[in-house]
Chain A
Amino acid sequence: MESPQDIPAVQELVRAQSRIRVRGGGSKSALAAEANVSLAGLSGMVQYDASEFTFTALAGTPVREVAEQLARHGQYLPFEPPLADDGATLGGTVAAGLSGSARYRYGGVRDFLLGVRLVDGRGELVRGGGNVVKNVAGFDLPKLMVGSLGRFGVVVELSFKVFPAPERTSTILAEFGHLDTAMAAVDRMATSPFDLMCLDVEPPNRLWIRIGGIGDALHARLARLTSLLEMSDARIGMFADDAEIWQDVSQFRWARENANLVKIPLVPSEVPRLEARIARWNGEVTRRYGVGGTVAYLAWSEPTVREGLESTLAAAHRSSLALWGDWPDPRLGPSTDNAMSDRLAAALDPQGKFAIAAAVAAPPGS
């Protein structure tokens, strides 16, 4: 494992080697398995001006470190990057395209990334975007990096915008008689102007709702929300001190005993259908549906589950990403590659040094 300590060292590595797969903190084991380069040494804030509400940091900077610095100025990354306690880094978060439950309110990692510097397949250091909050000059390379799994280059530095953190937060746990009534409540919440931070579904029948804002207003907002939920016969629990609840969610604490964890994007109406399919798989699967039922996280240990997962993904034509576990290629289901991504890869990585799985490391566009 190479561990470059500065950007020129990364460029040198890329020029010298025929194959580069990068890892950050290793918090998403399925993505780090093949890595031969660690960016852990490329860590630290490069620039942070609190009055500007933006920061620039090296790719290997742990998100926890960033969160702590931001918190000192009452600021936060509103998509709350997951797995901070496991050492998740900014670069890894971007490469995985992973956002936390709070992406529900203001958007995900793609919506807050302003600029990147990356080393392309020729070993050139390339900048895309900038570090001001608005900038449409040139192609939006930062967005291309989100979810790219390092396919187009080694991201070495990132700039983000941040928001003022809510003064106070509170969480409601609503328990319904049935998943269907819980999902109906999700639809109602999602189309109402309650300005929720998080809206997660925990099968079989629980809804987790978080709101944040000015302390004085929180009580009245909670009262309105709960009365609406009670109308649909939910049993309500309230948590004024909710930091730990969401930290556990961010750490996938509910999935910890399992070897495998995958992320599947979907739309809320697909949740009951997926639940029905999972019930027919061979093995125990723990689930959570985040962001108003637009993403499923499934966790399991028994190897027999894989077959059911793969056939479901194929049937539903859903692409998916493995986060934990031992996978030859973490990209599951139908490929997300197409003519556009192939051509972009050819432009940025003509020799195919960053191809994601060794088995498919043929030059792009061939």
Chain B
Amino acid sequence: MPFNELLSDLAALYPSDRLLTAAAQIMPYESDGLTAFRGRPSGVVLPVTADEVVETVRLCHRHDVPFMARGSGTSLSGGSVPVPDGLVIGLNRLNRILRYDPLHRVAVVEPGVINLRVSEHVAADGLYYAPDPSSGPVCTIGGNVAFNSGGVHCLKYGMTANHVLGLKCVLPDGEVVTLGGESLETVGPDLIGMFAGSEGLFGIALEITLRLLPRPEVYRTFLAAYDTLSAAGDAVSMVVASGLLPGAMEIMDRLAIDAAEAAVNAGYPADAQAVFLVELEGPREEVAAEEVRLMKLLDDSGATEIRVAKDDAERLTFWKGRKSAFSAVGRLSPDFIVQDGVVPRSRLGEALGEIERLSQEFGIRVANVFHAGDGNLHPLIMYDGRVAGALENAERLAGEILRLCIRMGGSITGEHGVGLEKRAYLGEMYEAADTRTMFAIRDAIDPKSLANRGKMLPDAEAPALASHGAHPLEQQGVISRM
């Protein structure tokens, strides 16, 4: 039993309160933010130093035990569902900000640092960390790096990978490499960009050097209400075409508005079919000039109501509704699947119409929340898991939406990652040669396939198109549903 051998080695490394093997200790680690999947690990370790992480990875490699690094377990793609019978390396206690240099605008953090804490830590110097996933108060930087997380402000400033300057990481066999540094500029291949978004398959980030930005001098946040979702979509196109470059552009449909209202009372218009949130940011003179143009655009776009956040508190309320929307859908439906497809942004309206049609065809309610400026859709597919066949039906609808995104020349995931959930569709988005190359890369980095095994890349025995009905992993009996 490789795990038992690993266990005795781990027992020498960890005190008993940081080496968890009892059922009640490991059960809560079985799932992440996508509860349709579960995987029971054999154990969980809670390292407090990077050296412990490295040593743990080396031991896993020696004993051939798969491992998965876990932050706050908020993945919406099943990316942090444990490898069944593997080891979970919980990084929550590696949560120190190791270095902070306000002058050079960098912070070196451990992987368990919470995303929002970085911005809080540096706020007094007028700086912030730009990537802001909706789970920012919860998710960790390590997880953000592994999945190249986005957020509502990607439009202008990009994703996590665009804000990581340096990485120290341990590869799946225990070798430690240092990538990048503290400069904005680099020479040599962009290995940081390659590591970010590798979904844990390349190993574990131990130290992450983040780039910080000066906080924009002013924010102006607008909320426009529309009678139809397509009118809101058209407004996005108008803003994009105008040459304005807002920091964020988000749309929520009626169902999503209902959910958010129930959760946080954001004060969104009661009768609107869609709400369009736009945020301008920058030097005050520039934003003032942009505001004049944006207001005219919104007036011309047929908005039934336009509000401007009058202060920072109202701005945060606007955003709080948006950022709570996913979880808030829990108020409308006992279970749901969040999708993360991307379509060319000029074809948003078409994609939304098609999703609406599919929703009716399947008889399944779908709420829409999306990063309109990026063409990144988040259809929330609602179902009741207690009804026989409901999950399968919902997954089929989810699959149709992904195929729609692929057909339109988009992507199956804009920011949540492939994880467990969408791996069957990777082979539909890419050609055989492309996925073969990805396997070759994984095999070169991790020949034993120990690091977060089973995520992103469809296993050889589970062909890409075999995702109908039970999940391939489920068919193999390695995962089960809650």
Residues of A within 8 A of B (CB): 49, 51-54, 74, 97, 99, 103-104, 106-108, 110-111, 120, 124-128, 130-149, 151-152, 163-165, 167, 187, 190-195, 213-214, 216-217, 220-221, 224, 263-269, 290-292, 294-295, 319-321, 331, 336-341, 343-344, 346-348
Any A CB within 8 A of the CB of B339: no
Residues of B within 8 A of A (CB): 102-105, 125-127, 147-148, 150, 154, 156-159, 161-162, 171, 175, 177-179, 181-198, 202, 214-217, 237, 240-241, 243-245, 282-283, 285-286, 288-290, 293, 342-346, 371, 374-376, 409-418, 422, 426, 429-431, 433-438, 440-441, 443-445, 456
Chain B proximity of A349: nearest CB distance (Å) = 11
Indicate if the CB atoms of A134 and B415 lie closer than 8 Å.
Answer: yes
Indicate if the CB atoms of A136 and B187 lie closer than 8 Å.
Answer: no
Q: With contacts A53-B240, A107-B162, A191-B105 known, is A137 near B183, CB below 8 A?
A: no
Indicate if the CB atoms of A137 and B431 lie closer than 8 Å.
Answer: no
Which residues on B sit within 8 Å (CB–CB) of A131? 409
Indicate if the CB atoms of A52 and B198 lie closer than 8 Å.
Answer: no
Indicate if the CB atoms of B182 and A144 lie closer than 8 Å.
Answer: no
Which residues on A sit within 8 Å (CB–CB) of B422? 137
- Complex Cα–Cα for A206 and B241 (A): 38
- Complex Cα–Cα for A56 and B100 (A): 39
Indicate if the CB atoms of B346 and A193 lie closer than 8 Å.
Answer: no
Taking A135-B410, A136-B150, A138-B426 as known contacts, 20 extra A-B pairs with beta carbons closer than 8 A to each other, sorted by chain A number, are A107-B162, A111-B162, A134-B159, A134-B411, A136-B413, A147-B186, A191-B125, A191-B214, A195-B216, A213-B283, A265-B183, A265-B184, A336-B187, A339-B171, A340-B191, A341-B188, A344-B191, A344-B441, A347-B437, A347-B440
Indicate if the CB atoms of B344 and A132 lie closer than 8 Å.
Answer: yes
Indicate if the CB atoms of A135 and B190 lie closer than 8 Å.
Answer: no
Indicate if the CB atoms of A341 and B414 lie closer than 8 Å.
Answer: no
Indicate if the CB atoms of A265 and B426 lie closer than 8 Å.
Answer: no
Of residues B154, B157, B440, which shows the largest number of chain A Cβ atoms within 10 Å of its Cβ?
Answer: B440
Pairs A–B under 8 Å by Cβ, sample size 24: A97-B186, A97-B189, A107-B162, A125-B433, A132-B343, A132-B409, A136-B413, A139-B438, A140-B193, A147-B187, A149-B189, A164-B243, A164-B245, A193-B126, A193-B217, A193-B282, A216-B289, A265-B181, A266-B183, A331-B187, A338-B179, A340-B195, A344-B189, A347-B440
Indicate if the CB atoms of B216 and A137 lie closer than 8 Å.
Answer: no
Indicate if the CB atoms of A135 and B411 lie closer than 8 Å.
Answer: yes
For B411, give its contact among A130, A143, A291, A294 (CB under 8 Å). Answer: A130
Indicate if the CB atoms of B376 and A134 lie closer than 8 Å.
Answer: yes
CB-nearest residue of chain B to A111 = B162
Of residues A110, A136, A141, A292, which shows the largest number of chain B Cβ atoms within 10 Å of its Cβ?
Answer: A136
- Complex Cα–Cα for A145 and B415 (A): 21
- Complex Cα–Cα for A110 and B171 (A): 23
Q: With contacts A52-B345, A133-B345, A339-B177 known, is A143 near B194, CB below 8 A?
A: yes
The 9 closest A-B pairs by CB, nearest first: A143-B193, A336-B188, A347-B444, A164-B243, A134-B414, A135-B411, A295-B185, A148-B189, A217-B285
- Complex Cα–Cα for A204 and B336 (A): 62
- Complex Cα–Cα for A269 and B414 (A): 37
Indicate if the CB atoms of B240 and A51 lie closer than 8 Å.
Answer: yes
Chain B proximity of A135: nearest CB distance (Å) = 4
- Complex Cα–Cα for A192 and B346 (A): 35
Which residues on A sit within 8 Å (CB–CB) of B375? 132-134
Indicate if the CB atoms of B175 and A339 lie closer than 8 Å.
Answer: yes
Chain B proximity of A231: nearest CB distance (Å) = 18
Chain B proximity of A20: nearest CB distance (Å) = 17
CB-nearest residue of chain B to A146 = B190
For A132, give its contact among B181, B285, B342 (CB under 8 Å). Answer: B342
Indicate if the CB atoms of A140 and B161 lie closer than 8 Å.
Answer: yes
Which residues on B sit within 8 Å (CB–CB) of A294? 183-185
